[in-house]
Amino acid sequence: MRELLLSAGYDHWILTVLLVVPVLGALVVWIGASALESGGGTDAAGTPPGTAAAARFARWVALLTFVAEFVLSVGLWWSFDPSIDGWQSLISVPWITTWRVNYTLGVDGIAVVLILLTTLLMPLTVMGSWTSVREKVPTFYALMLILTTGMIGVFVSLDLFLFYVMWEVMLVPMYFIIGIWGGERRIYASIKFFIYTMIGSFLMLVAILYVGFHVGGTAAGQAPDFSYPDLLARLRVTPIAARWLFGAFFLAFAIKVPMFPFHTWLPDAHVEAPTAGSVILAGIMLKMGTFGFLRFAAPLFPSAALDPGIRAIILGLAVTGVLYGALVALVQPDFKKLVAYSSVSHLGFVMLGIFAFTQQSVQGAILVMLNHGISTGALFLLIGMIYERTHTRQISDYGGIARVVPLFSTLLTFVALSSIGLPGTNGFVGEFLVLIGSFRTVPYHAMLATVGVIFAAAYLLWAIQRILFNSLDKPRNAALRDLNWRELALMAPLVACIIWLGVYPAPILRRTDHAAAAFVQEVEHGSGTQRPSSRVAYAPGARP
Partner 1 sequence: MLFQTAAAVAGGAAPHPLSGTAADWVWALPLLPLLGFVLNGALAIFGSAKAGPADPSAGSHDGPDAAHGVPGGNGQDDGAHADAAHAVPSQRHPYAWLVSVIGPLVVIAAFALACMICVAMIAAQPTTPFIQRYFSWMPVGDLSIDAAFQLDQLSMVIVLVITGVGALIHIFSVGYMRDDPGYPRYFSYLNLFVFFMLVLVLGANLPVTFVGWEGVGLCSYLLIGFWFSDRANADAGKKAFIANRVGDFGFMIAMFLLFANIGTLQYTEIAAAAPAALPAGGALVTTVCLFLLLGCTGKSAQIPLYVWLPDAMAGPTPVSALIHAATMVTAGVYLVVRTSMLFSIAPAASLTVCVIGAVTALFAATIGLKQWDIKKVLAYSTISQLGFMFVAVGAGAYVAGIFHLVTHAFFKALLFLGAGSVIYAMHAAYHETHSHEDAQDMRNMGGLRTAMPVTWILMWIATLAIAGVPLFAGFFSKDEILGTVFARAQGSALSDASWLGIPGGALLYGVYGICLVAAFLTAVYMTRLMLYTFHGPNRTGDAEHSLLREAPAVMTLPLVVLGVLSAAGGFLNDPSFLPIAPADMLGRWLEPVVGPATQQITRGGPAEADPRLSAILATVASVVALAGILVALLRLKPAALRPAREPQPAESKVESLLSHKYYVDEAYDRAIVTPTVVFSRNILWRGVDGLIDGLVNLTALISRWLGDSGSAAQTGETGTYAWALVLGVVIVLGTVALRI
182 to 221, contacts with partner 1 by CB under 8 A?
Answer: 192, 195-196
166 or 402: CB nearest partner 1: 402
Query: Sign of torsion, CA 446 380 77 111?
Result: negative
- 507 binds partner 1, rule: CB under 8 A: no
Choice between 162 and 501, CB closer to partner 1:
501
How many residues in the shown chain lie near partner 1 by CB under 8 A? 83
Q: Which is nearer to partner 1, 173 or 505 (CB)?
A: 505
Among 475, 529, 540, 541, binds partner 1 (CB under 8 A): 475
What residues from 315 to 334 belong to the interface with partner 1 (CB under 8 A)? Answer: 324, 327-328, 330-332
Q: How far apart are CA 317 and CA 321, in angstroms?
A: 6
Nearest residue (CB) to partner 1, 33 versus 433: 433
- Segment contacting partner 1 (CB under 8 A): 60-68, 119-127, 311-319, 498-506? 498-506
Stretch 407-446: interaction string toward partner 1, x if CB under 8 A? x-xx------x----xxx---xx--xx-xxx-xx--x--x
CB of 363 to partner 1, least distance (A): 5
Longest dimension (CA), the chain: 77
Nearest residue to 278 via CA among 134, 128, 407, 142 = 128
Q: Within 13 Å, how many C-alpha atoms sit on residue 236's CB side?
A: 6
Site residues (CB under 8 A) for partner 1, limited to 349-388: 358-360, 363-364, 385, 388
Q: Do 412 and 382 meet the contact criterion of CB atoms below 8 Å apart?
A: yes
Nearer to partner 1, 350 or 429 (CB): 429
Footprint of partner 1 on residues 259-318 (CB under 8 A)?
Answer: 261, 264-265
CB of 107 to partner 1, least distance (A): 20
Nearest residue (CB) to partner 1, 38 versus 470: 470
- Cβ at position 233, least distance to partner 1 in Å: 25
For partner 1, the binding residues in 41-80 under the rule CB under 8 A are none
- List, in order, residues 6 or more apart from 270 with CB less than 8 Å away: 278, 281, 282, 336, 337, 339, 340, 343, 380
Tell me the torsion sign for CA atoms 308, 311, 317, 318: negative
According to DSSP, the residues that pair with 88 across neighbouring strands are 107
3-state SS, residue 249:
helix
Does 488 sit near partner 1 (CB under 8 A)? yes
CB atoms closer than 10 angstroms to residue 410: 14
Q: Are 295 and 162 in contact, with CB atoms under 8 Å apart?
A: no
Residues 102-141 that bind partner 1 (CB under 8 A): 131-132
Q: Does 476 bind partner 1 (CB under 8 A)?
A: yes
Taking the least distance from each CB to partner 1, the nearer of 148 and 361 is 361
Residues 193 and 176: their CA atoms lie apart, in Å, by 11
Q: Which residues are registered as beta bridge partners of 107?
A: 88
Bridge partners (DSSP) of residue 157 are 105
Site string for partner 1, 219-258 (x = CB under 8 A): ----------------------------------------
Q: Does 162 bind partner 1 (CB under 8 A)?
A: no
Min dist. Cβ of residue 218 to partner 1 (A): 32
Out of 2, 12, 136, 389, point to the residue binding partner 1 (CB under 8 A). Answer: 389
Cβ-in-10-Å burial (0-12, 13-18, 19+) of 471 comes to exposed
Cβ atoms of residues 190 and 311 within 8 Å: no
Q: Could you give the CA distance from residue 321 to residue 289 in angstroms, rounded to a whole number? A: 15
Candidate segments 146-154, 304-312, 347-355, 457-465, binder of partner 1 by CB under 8 A: 457-465
d(CA 158, CA 92): 9
Element at 488 (helix H, strand E): helix 485-503
- Confirm or reject binding of residue 396 to partner 1 (CB under 8 A): no
Closest distance of CB 177 from partner 1, Å:
19
The reply to whether 27 sits near partner 1 by the rule CB under 8 A is: no
Q: What is the DSSP string of 310-334?
A: HHHHHHHHHHHHHHHHHHHHHT-SB
Interaction between residue 453 and partner 1 (CB under 8 A):
yes
Closest distance to partner 1 from the beta carbon of 453 (Å) = 7
Angle, helices 359-390 vs 109-128, to 10°: value is 10
Tell whether the torsion through CA atoms of 258, 259, 263 and 266 is positive or negative: positive
Site stretch for partner 1 (CB under 8 A), options 67-75, 100-108, 368-376, 452-460: 452-460
Single residue of 99, 202, 469, 500 touching partner 1 by CB under 8 A: 469
Binds partner 1 (CB under 8 A): choice among 74, 239, 470, 496:
470
Residue 131 CB, nearest distance to partner 1 (Å)?
5
